[in-house]
Amino acid sequence: MPYFDTASTAPLHPVARQALAAALDEGWADPARLYREGRRAALLLDAAREAAAEAVGCRADELVFTPSGTQAVHSGIAGALAGRRRTGRHLVVSAVEHSSVLHAADVHAAAGGSVAQVPVDRSGTVTAGGYADALTASTALACLQSANHEVGTVQPVAEVADVCAEAGVPLLVDAAQSLGWGPVEGAWSVLAASAHKWGGPPGVGLLAVRKGVRFSPQHPADERESGRSPGFVNLPAAVAAAASLRAVRAEAEAEAARLRVLVDRIRRRVARLVPDVEVVGHPDRRLPHLVTFSCLYVDGETLLHELDKAGYSVSSGSSCTSSTLTPSHVLRAMGVLSEGNVRVSLPPGTTAEDVNGFLEVLPAAVARVRAALGSPEAEPVEPVADSVEVDALGLRCPQPVIELARAVRTVPVGGTVTVVSDDEVARLDVPAWCSLRGHDYLGEEPRPQGTAYTVRRRS
């Protein structure tokens, strides 16, 4: 049964499993103790740190193991901000960072700090110029992901690092999605990563802080892991993480080339096989194994259920699947359609047959979901008025856009439709729909209830 959600968590690599079993035997004791079991554990921990540091491209004494990638990000941001408190309390992040980064930024803002978000283009890419514009004399830290977790776009980390270095600002890189594929290029200052994303075990993150970077840990004092990660170190998992990182790196180049061909096929075929679909993310500067597309007039959660029934496990950035009913901040920042969103991230070893099978079931799955919702463009309709207002209050994604699509056919070319919606997603998907369909998006205005979005029919 093909599992296509490696960007959430990768299946455990066989090397990780072997290393974990061995380290549970040899490395269960406290590495801080002086007796033989402790000394043996300390040797294993040292070796794991050396191996992980080599893969990261840093010194062993710059790297600590944390209990998760999220905690590496939280500790890294808090420690770097505190280390440069005298410089100022300004934090720069991209608009498409992982929620762990944005939530750490929220904590900083709530404590009186300021946060600037660097925008991205429609491919999800930041520019070095965007960072240069955002940096101020009081910027304590800048953060940038190495590659985006939802759309796979690879960021220009080395260029942004240069801009930051010139300004004397440390750059923290969230390398969670890319570290298995290769080291992060450029002069980063702090790096965070997560082992279960590359096939390592859960329970291990990496936090690397370059020598010379001012860093002041913000959690209660704890002498373990250079004072940067409190708690008894999860040694067997750290050993398994390091061993599996080395193993996936050895296979990375060949596997990336292989998966890139399969993802290219998905990108091409989806656009051909599924009507009204938008493939999102950068077409070239992207992770080799990940592709995201959005399907007009589709409820993402229902589509995921359909694909699950057909045997395919994929993920979605659609708000339709989330309990919060807000659209993916990544898709929003990119300004692309969010409804019917599907993220496919292939694990190593995925075959052409797996991908072909997915491409066979996808069009029918999308068609079933659309049929259940009722296609808004099935039959020709005569215009009834020059301008129409549609009450979509209480309707959730993708219904407001479906209502809009139905209504547009009831006005002549040049006529306008205003859809009133209290669904946050409409703010993203109405303009995205206009862009897909070639209509003019005229803007929004607040209403006593919800927001009015107005569109001019162009064809």
Active site residues: 320
Kindly state whether residue 321 participates in binding a second copy, applying the rule CB under 8 A.
yes
Confirm if 132 and 125 have CB atoms less than 8 A apart. no
Q: Residue 154 carries which DSSP code?
A: B
Kindly state whether residue 68 participates in binding a second copy, applying the rule CB under 8 A.
yes
User: What tokens were used for 234?
Assistant: 């999860």
Side-chain half-sphere exposure of 48, counting CA atoms within 13 A: 33
Q: Which of 24, 60, 381, 393 binds a second copy (CB under 8 A)?
A: 24
Closer by beta carbon to a second copy, 29 or else 167: 29
d(Cα 270, Cα 279) in Å, to the nearest integer? 8
For 327-350, b/e burial (b = at least 16 CB within 10 A) is: bbbbbbbbbbbbbbbbbbbbbbeb
Closer by beta carbon to a second copy, 35 or else 446: 35
| CA dihedral of residues 278, 309, 326, 264 (deg, nearest 10) | -30
User: What tokens were used for 209?
Assistant: 């802080």
| Nearest by Cα to 289 from 199, 364, 193 | 199
Helix (H) or strand (E) holding 351: none
Kindly state whether residue 202 participates in binding a second copy, applying the rule CB under 8 A.
yes
Kindly state whether residue 235 participates in binding a second copy, applying the rule CB under 8 A.
yes
Kindly state whether residue 313 participates in binding a second copy, applying the rule CB under 8 A.
yes
d(Cα 144, Cα 161) in Å, to the nearest integer? 9
Kindly state whether residue 455 participates in binding a second copy, applying the rule CB under 8 A.
no
Closer by beta carbon to a second copy, 202 or else 335: 202
Closer by beta carbon to a second copy, 102 or else 390: 102
Kindly state whether residue 26 participates in binding a second copy, applying the rule CB under 8 A.
no
Kindly state whether residue 145 participates in binding a second copy, applying the rule CB under 8 A.
no
Kindly state whether residue 82 participates in binding a second copy, applying the rule CB under 8 A.
no
Task: For the CB of residue 92, give the shortest distance to a second copy in the complex, in Å.
Answer: 17
Side-chain half-sphere exposure of 112, counting CA atoms within 13 A: 3
Kindly give the pairing relationship between strand 440-446 and strand 416-421.
unpaired
Kindly state whether residue 360 participates in binding a second copy, applying the rule CB under 8 A.
no
Confirm if 419 and 314 have CB atoms less than 8 A apart. no
Residues numbered 237 to 256 that lie near a second copy (CB under 8 A) are 237
Kindly state whether residue 396 participates in binding a second copy, applying the rule CB under 8 A.
no
Closer by beta carbon to a second copy, 3 or else 198: 3
Kindly give the pairing relationship between strand 341-345 and strand 387-391.
unpaired
Q: Which of 15, 19, 20, 48 binds a second copy (CB under 8 A)?
A: 20
Kindly state whether residue 220 participates in binding a second copy, applying the rule CB under 8 A.
yes
Backbone angles phi, psi at 125, to 5 degrees: -100, 135
Q: Which of 148, 155, 194, 318 binds a second copy (CB under 8 A)?
A: 194
Q: Which of 234, 319, 328, 345 binds a second copy (CB under 8 A)?
A: 234
Helix 300-309 and helix 352-373, axial crossing angle in degrees, nearest 10: 130
Closer by beta carbon to a second copy, 67 or else 170: 67
For a second copy, the binding residues (CB under 8 A) are 1, 3, 5, 8-9, 11-12, 17, 20-21, 24, 28-30, 33-38, 67-71, 74, 99-100, 103-104, 106-107, 194, 196, 201-203, 205, 219-223, 230-237, 301, 304-305, 307-308, 312-315, 321, 323
